[in-house]
Amino acid sequence: MPIPTPNKYPDFNTIRLSHVCLNVSDLNASRQFYVDTLGMQVTDESVSHIYLRAMEERGHHCVILQQSDQPGTVEVMGFKTFDDADLDRAETYFQGKGRPTSWVERPYQGRTLLTSDNMGIPLEFYHKMDRLEPIHQKYALYRGVKPLRIDHFNVFSNDVDASVEFYSDFGFRVTEYTEDEDSKKLWAAWMHRKGGVHDMAFTNGTGPRMHHLAFWVPTPLNIIDLLDLMATTGYVKNIERGPGRHGISNAFFLYILDPDGHRIEIYCSDYQTLDPDHEAIKWDLQDPQRQTLWGAAAPRSWFEHGTEFVGVKPKKSQIAASPIIAP
């Protein structure tokens, strides 16, 4: 099935992904992982929540850690719009698609529209978030992997074609994709708004579930430093895959798991996709360089483990095809 023609003039203007709320079992353990190990900056905390931002971000938060009786689940994924009127246009748009909409109160955010995508993934859109002073040149604060900004989400979809069609309609554009040659259905796709390889990606599997969220770091050496730190501070078992370089996206990567099993990608070195006529790149599902340019296959856990969204029951995919999996 061919990828959809990009919608260059969507009903409302989404700038980029913005933030995610993760449900956790132990805020102190999560704080140690995200703050002391990864190097995220705390912007506020209470007995039930910790708000975090990365070093280049001016918005109040990109990650919310929420103490929950449903740990290891995702509460919501957030996106920023170009202006406030886009929120009203988004409400009309999602209602027209038969999706539920409501206006919700969120700390540190202005008007926020809560809705969901075609699979039921909870999405929220906002325009205004509290702005904080810049800290990107306060080098005394840099630690851990030195995260600069949140980069993208990747989710398991039981029907990647349907997910790509849904997001394409409100302006997301495909940069790279993998097609199952037998069924001619999409196996995975990478889609963007901000001009990188992706803000949102979809991987075939039981879904919807979050596969990972990713943070951009300055250099591959930061990833090596993080590995040394994790290996000597009790987190060696949290290292799942990498380091390596993806064929898709060309990015240097590392995948790790937080204390509740949320998968985190540490990421740098992808490329610019701003041109409206940028052509998508197609990959063969059986090409070993698709996963890792150097040829190393991903472990089975990378294709099977994900974290569920609150209140959304995943469904199995009907595609039987499989990429190369490490023994």
Chosen domain end from 131, 159, 183: 131
Find, among 24, 62, 63, 67, the residue nearest to 48 by Cα: 67
Assess whether 59 and 175 both reside in one domain.
Answer: no
Confidence check: pLDDT of 1 > 80: no
pLDDT band at 42 (very low <50, low <70, confident <90, very high): very high
Assess whether 101 and 161 both reside in one domain.
Answer: no
Q: From residue 4, how far is each of 67, 106, 137, 203, 258 by CA, in Å?
A: 40, 34, 42, 17, 35
Assess whether 152 and 49 both reside in one domain.
Answer: no
Residue 295 lies in a domain: yes
Chosen domain end from 131, 166, 190: 131
Assess whether 150 and 249 both reside in one domain.
Answer: yes
216 pairs with which residues across the strands?
149, 267
Assess whether 186 and 219 both reside in one domain.
Answer: yes
Assess whether 158 and 299 both reside in one domain.
Answer: yes
Chosen domain end from 81, 105, 131: 131
Residue 321 lies in a domain: no
Q: Is 102 exposed, middle or buried (0-12, 13-18, 19+ CB in 10 A)?
A: exposed
What is this structure's pTM? 0.97
| Residue that the structure tokens 């604060």 belong to | 141
pLDDT of residue 183: 87
Assess whether 96 and 174 both reside in one domain.
Answer: no
Residue 316 lies in a domain: no
Assess whether 95 and 173 both reside in one domain.
Answer: no
pLDDT of residue 321: 80
Residue 267 lies in a domain: yes
Q: Determine how many CB atoms are found less than 10 A away from the CB of residue 163.
A: 28
Assess whether 154 and 295 both reside in one domain.
Answer: yes
| Residue that the structure tokens 């996206």 belong to | 249
Assess whether 168 and 79 both reside in one domain.
Answer: no
**How confident is the model over 270-322, as pLDDT tens digits?**
999 999 999 999 999 989 999 999 999 999 999 999 999 999 999 999 888 88
Write out the DSSP string of 306-318.
Answer: -EEBTT---B---
pLDDT of residue 71: 98
Confidence check: pLDDT of 132 > 90: yes
For the chain, the average pLDDT equals: 96
Strand 185-192 relative to strand 263-268, pairing: unpaired
pLDDT of residue 14: 98
Domain containing 224 — which CATH number? Answer: 3.10.180.10
**How confident is the model over 239-280, as pLDDT tens digits?**
999 999 999 999 999 999 999 999 999 999 999 999 999 999
3-state secondary structure at position 105: coil
Residue 7 lies in a domain: no
Find, among 198, 193, 117, 192, the residue nearest to 162 by Cα: 117
Domain that holds residue 45: 14-131
pLDDT band at 93 (very low <50, low <70, confident <90, very high): very high
Q: Give the burial string for 43-63 (b: 16+ CB within 10 Å, else e).
A: beeeeebbbbbbbebebbbbb
CB 64, CB 262: distance < 8 Å: no
Domain count along the chain: 2
Residue 161 lies in a domain: yes
3-state secondary structure at position 300: helix
